Amino acid sequence: MNIAVLLAGGSGRRMGAPEPKQFIEVAGRTILEHSIRAFSSHAAIDEIVIVSHADYIDRVNTIAKPYEKVRHIVAGGKERYHSTLSAIGLYSSLSPAQQVATNILIHDAVRPLVSHRIISDCIAALRHNSAVDVAIACTDTICEVNADGHIVRIPARSTLRNVQTPQGFHLDTIAQAYSTGLKDPDFITTDDCGVVHRYLPDTGIYVVDGETTNIKITYPEDLILAEKILANDKNA
């Protein structure tokens, strides 16, 4: 079974909009609905979970109502990983064998332009890997700075990637990573592959090629770009 988890609990403070950015309309639909459509229309996706801020559950229900693959809408928490845990918890009653056989694709709902190719490649990669990331090559030089603002290291650009979503896992793998990580008093993370990398170090994470159009809507100018891309997509 392939489960898509859409994380839609963000506040969108950097956007400066009066409402969370997942509810902003682009090309006639909310950003959230574009993301739902991307996964709902993919033949290999069996069901969709949406994790929302508790205050917006009713609104998400209204947006998701036309999409039969949306089976669960649950509340997240203060941090991003709380949203992932809410989704994982829905399937905790599955047997160990079922958890191994279940793929979970965790996606930022504010990446509404994810393609079927990326989704397909993630699912295909999970046949031979228990954790999968999506990324594109860096086009800019990246530097590491210290607390004083001075450069301390410039990694080789050829080895660096900009991470996108979805991030895919066998359900048992991501559940085990979080179970281990949450016992760490210094636990902190910004993404799910990072939890696997830190707490299941022997688990390889395969990287699927992303796309430059798979942008995360963060700033007002991102809306302009998304509008142009969607305007040229006859299936949007």
Residue 207 lies in a domain: yes
pLDDT for res 193: 97
pLDDT for res 216: 95
pLDDT for res 15: 59
CATH of the domain at 179: 3.90.550.10
Residue 144 lies in a domain: no
Q: Are 134 and 210 in contact (CB under 8 A)?
A: yes
Please, what's the b/e burial string for 136-157 (b: 16 or more CB within 10 A of its CB; e: otherwise)?
eeeeeeeeeeeeeeeeeeeeee
pLDDT for res 48: 98
Q: Record the pTM.
A: 0.93
Q: Containing domain of residue 59, as a range?
A: 2-135+162-231
Residue 84 lies in a domain: yes
- Residue 205 burial (CB count, 10 A): 18
| CA atoms within 13 A of residue 130's CA, in its CB half-sphere | 18
Residue 186 lies in a domain: yes
As averages over each run of 10 residues, the pLDDT of the chain (236 residues) reads: 93 66 93 97 97 94 97 90 94 90 96 97 97 96 94 93 97 96 92 96 97 93 92 66
Residue 140 lies in a domain: no
Residue 148 lies in a domain: no
Q: Are 32 and 23 in contact (CB under 8 A)?
A: yes
Quote the number of domains for the chain: 1
Q: Is 1 helix (H, G, I), strand (E, B) or coil?
A: coil
Residue 150 lies in a domain: no
pLDDT for res 236: 58
Q: Are 60 and 50 in contact (CB under 8 A)?
A: yes
Residue 149: left (phi > 0), alpha (psi -120 to 50), or beta?
A: left
